[in-house]
């Protein structure tokens, strides 16, 4: 592509069209491209972005700059801080467009999707916060964004917490992440015919957006410690997604289990909420499956390891001792009824290999996976 552009065998307009489509599906399929940053095409884009940004207002080609920024962000996995400081404000300006024509909405969706690909990269609050807040708040009132565009706006913001924990209050209490994630998951889940083995077109896209919402929830649970009652809402939504997709969509099922494991580890979610929202039940259901593949087994075991650890640590328990003892009793009775002890015992010989193949976090002591009354 770089050679074609250099030799003028393809117009920039056609090159942008092709590259944006590649970036679009890279984002939807969650593909990482570690080599693009070293490519001549990437260097060409960085140079063109810098040159265009330095032009005066009269000379600057805004459309060209937007196209360059979208391609740069959507195709990359590593970014120049200097180029980010140009691309982020440029694309957020597009994201703020309120025109609801199909053409503008597609442009806004691609722009927000490209921004969501930045991941954990650090940037100054002044580059993004007012604009991304305005995009999300306007959608709350007018529902102007596509589901993918709205999720992408949230994903861009959630990733910023990694370097700025002070965003927690904005995300949870002002923009109501827990409420919005639960509502979107519910509406998306109800819009898909899960009994059909293969989704096409709009349905397939909505399944991907479900996966992306659960991934955003994972990121919040991994990094944040701010509690809000609204956050409990997405627990039940994840459980419902699991129940809908358990006959197919193994990657979505895995994402549900992975997210519930993060919830079991996080101090944000109380153990009694995991019980009340049936998180313990669905992980027990999954661990009984005869064809568990390694990473699913690993996450199920970690879920119970975290539950057991939290119920044993009286001084860190989030409720009074009476609630702790009640939770222990309920979980003990559930796992006893489901034959959990035999299942864990059957996995004992695989703990070492799972730790080597995945991550070394599984305890080799079988008693660590049990809750004793």
Q: Answer whether 167's CB lies under 8 Å from 181's CB.
A: no
Nearest residue to 42 (alpha-carbon basis) of 88, 7, 73: 73
Query: What distance in Å separates the CA atoms of residue 246 and residue 278, rounded to the nearest whole number?
Result: 15
Lowest-confidence segment of 50-54, 113-117, 134-138, 335-339 by average pLDDT: 335-339
In the chain, % of residues over pLDDT 70: 94
pLDDT of amino acid 337: 77
In 270-367, alpha helices (H): 271-276, 279-287, 294-312, 321-337, 340-347, 351-357
327 CB-side CA count, 13 A: 25
Q: Answer whether 85's CB lies under 8 Å from 46's CB.
A: no
Integer angstrom CA distances of residue 214 from 166, 180, 182, 184, 301: 22, 12, 10, 11, 20
Nearest residue to 371 (alpha-carbon basis) of 309, 326, 315, 287: 309
Nearest residue to 167 (alpha-carbon basis) of 106, 211, 225: 225
- Segment 319-331 shows an average pLDDT of 79
- What lies within 8 Å, CB to CB, of 29 at 6+ separation is none
3-class DSSP state for residue 230?
A: helix
- For 113-162, write each residue's pLDDT tens digit: 999 999 999 999 999 999 999 999 999 999 999 999 999 999 999 999 98
């Amino acid at each position: 592509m770089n050679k074609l552009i250099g030799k003028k065998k393809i117009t920039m307009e056609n090159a942008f069209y092709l590259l944006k489509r590649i970036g679009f599906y890279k984002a939807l399929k969650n593909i990482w491209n570690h080599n693009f940053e070293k490519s001549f095409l990437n260097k060409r884009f960085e140079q063109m972005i810098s040159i265009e940004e330095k032009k005066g207002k009269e000379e600057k080609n805004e459309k060209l700059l937007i196209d360059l920024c979208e391609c740069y962000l959507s195709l990359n996995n590593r970014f120049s801080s200097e180029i980010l400081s140009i691309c982020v404000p440029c694309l957020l300006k597009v994201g703020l467009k309120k025109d609801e024509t199909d053409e503008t909405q597609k442009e806004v969706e691609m722009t927000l999707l490209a921004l969501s690909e930045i991941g954990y990269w650090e940037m100054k609050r002044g580059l993004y916060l007012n604009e991304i807040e305005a995009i999300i708040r306007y959608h709350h009132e007018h529902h102007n964004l596509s589901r993918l565009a709205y999720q992408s706006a949230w994903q861009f913001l959630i990733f910023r917490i990694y370097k700025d924990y002070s965003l927690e209050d904005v995300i949870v209490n002002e923009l109501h992440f827990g409420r919005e994630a639960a509502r979107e998951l519910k509406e998306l889940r109800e819009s898909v015919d899960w009994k059909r083995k293969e989704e096409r077109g709009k349905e397939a896209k909505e399944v991907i957006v479900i996966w992306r919402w659960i991934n955003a929830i994972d990121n919040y649970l991994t990094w944040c410690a701010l509690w809000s009652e609204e956050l409990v809402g997405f627990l039940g939504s994840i459980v419902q997604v699991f129940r809908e997709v358990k006959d197919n969509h193994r990657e979505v099922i895995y994402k549900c289990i992975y997210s519930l494991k993060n919830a079991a580890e996080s101090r944000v979610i109380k153990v009694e909420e995991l019980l009340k929202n049936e998180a313990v039940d669905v992980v027990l259901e999954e661990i009984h499956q005869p064809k568990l593949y390694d990473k699913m087994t690993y996450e199920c075991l970690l879920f119970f390891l975290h539950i057991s650890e939290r119920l044993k640590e009286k001084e860190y328990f989030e409720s009074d001792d009476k609630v702790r003892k009640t939770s222990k009793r309920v979980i003990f009775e559930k796992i006893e009824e489901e034959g959990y002890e035999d299942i864990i015992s059957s996995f004992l010989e695989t703990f070492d290999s799972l730790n080597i193949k995945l991550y070394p976090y599984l305890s080799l002591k079988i008693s660590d996976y049990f809750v004793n009354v």
